[in-house]
Amino acid sequence: MTNVGIVIVSHSVQVAQGTADMVRQMVGDEVPLAACGGDPEGGLGTSVPDIMKAIDAAWSDSGVAIMVDLGGAETNSEMAIEMMDGDRAKKVVICNAPIVEGAVIAATEASGGATLDEVRGTAEELSAA
């Protein structure tokens, strides 16, 4: 099984890309990773089709953990998951964690071969603290 994949969804393409750069620096190519940001016209916002593409790009049979910034990113990510094929949708979770720290720690956990639940749990500990 491949490692759990990580998807970063921000309202800003620069935040999404910058967060992905920080993740890459930590874990190299050991974790499938994709980032997206911006509304369908490139302004601040998020896009359901872009999120679906990012989930495909970071796909792993072990699952995919999505990191989001503000409300719309979460709502649009939930919508993207619901629009996927049911069996694959069950393997995608949204983590309730700060986007930058959450993505870095989730990817670090994933790079060690952790399960999707473990990856999510570690990321969400950041919010509990």
Count of residues that interact with other proteins, criterion CB under 8 A: 19
Which residue, among 45, 42, 5, 11, has the nearest Cα to 23 in the 3D structure?
Answer: 5
Q: Is 122 a catalytic residue?
A: no
Give the one residue of 61, 79, 89, 113 binding other proteins; rule: CB under 8 A: 79
For other proteins, the closer CB: 28 or 43 = 43
Strands 33-37 and 92-95 come out as unpaired
* Residue 89 touches other proteins, criterion: CB under 8 A: no
User: Buried b / exposed e across 10-25, counting CB within 10 Å, b at 16+?
Assistant: bbbbebbebbbebbee
Site residues (vs other proteins, CB under 8 A): 38-41, 43-49, 70-72, 75-76, 78-79, 83
